[in-house]
Amino acid sequence: MIDPTISVIVPAFNEADYLPRYLPTVLASLRLWEEATGQVGEVIVVDNASTDTTPQVAEQLGARVVHEPQRGIGRARNTGARAAHGEYLVFVDADVEFPLSGVRDIADTLRPGRCAGPCVGGAIPPEYEPSRAGTRLLVAAWALYRRHFGGAQGVCQFATREAFDTVRGYREDMFMSEDVEFFARLTRLGAARQHPVVHLTHLRVRPSNRRFERWPSWRIWWWCNPITANLARTSPRFWRHWYDSTIR
């Protein structure tokens, strides 16, 4: 059996209703790259203590399922990375529509020689489409924040296996902004090696609007602004409302 070149890791808690819509976009992107290159990849869904049929749905759709019994998205991503066989790791949220050329472009970006040496990793930016003016304003504020301070959200991040192991993956003691903190360490590693992270800005991943639609705008602003997002990041009690549904 040929070892996979690329592993796409999808953390999932109670995502049985969302996987049938979004996971096929990841699988289609992987198949396109496999057919074009003759290489193989894998999609791993990390069942993060789901109480619904998430693992069964993921298997039926064609993913490999591994289990992480302790809730926490950083922990779930690391569990998927440990189970993965690829030299390239891609982390995608379970409710994200993935671009068809995404796997191909990530693999092309990470292959040796693309960045005067192997790039350490990067991200595909998200494109949110909230219906309410208040949440659209928040999305715009975050876009300005990232443009000024850098960083990338965990909806789609990628790294070489070697770089991921070097920075020791995601912090498992953080319940918020673990993705931003991981990407900051990955960025510093790339700068030290002169192999910077790459933002594939010609692509977009499209997350669902479920939090925007379920929560009132004031609640979205309170939990999702840059200041709150950096408060008590290691406190499970402070962030318990963030984890009490399928959203995290």
Q: Mean pLDDT of all residues in the chain?
A: 90
Q: pLDDT for 194-235, tens place per residue?
A: 888 999 999 999 999 887 777 888 888 888 877 888 888 888
pLDDT at residue number 114: 58
- Taking a C-beta distance cutoff of 8 angstroms, is the pair 95, 207 a contact? yes
Domain boundaries along the sequence of the chain: 6-230
Q: Which of 113-117, 119-123, 150-154, 159-163 has the lowest mean pLDDT?
A: 113-117
The CATH number that domain 6-230 falls under is: 3.90.550.10
pLDDT at residue number 231: 84
Q: Grade residue 1 by pLDDT with cuts at 50, 70 and 90.
A: low
Q: What is the 3-state secondary structure (H, E, C) of the chain?
A: CCCCCEEEEEEECCCCCCHHHHHHHHHHHHHHHHHHHCCCEEEEEEECCCCCCHHHHHHHHCCEEEECCCCCHHHHHHHHHHHCCCCEEEEECCCEECCCCHHHHHHHHHCCCCCCCCCCEEECCECCCCCCHHHHHHHHHHHHHHHHHCCCCCCEEEEEHHHHHHCCCCCCCCCCCHHHHHHHHHHHHHHHHCCCCEECCCCCEEECCHHHHHCCHHHHHHHHCCCHHHCCCCCCCCCCCCCCCCCC
pLDDT at residue number 211: 74
Q: Which of 101-110, 131-140, 188-197 has the lowest mean pLDDT?
A: 131-140
Q: pLDDT for 2-47, tens place per residue?
A: 789 999 999 999 999 999 999 999 999 999 999 999 999 999 999 9
Q: Grade residue 245 by pLDDT with cuts at 50, 70 and 90.
A: low
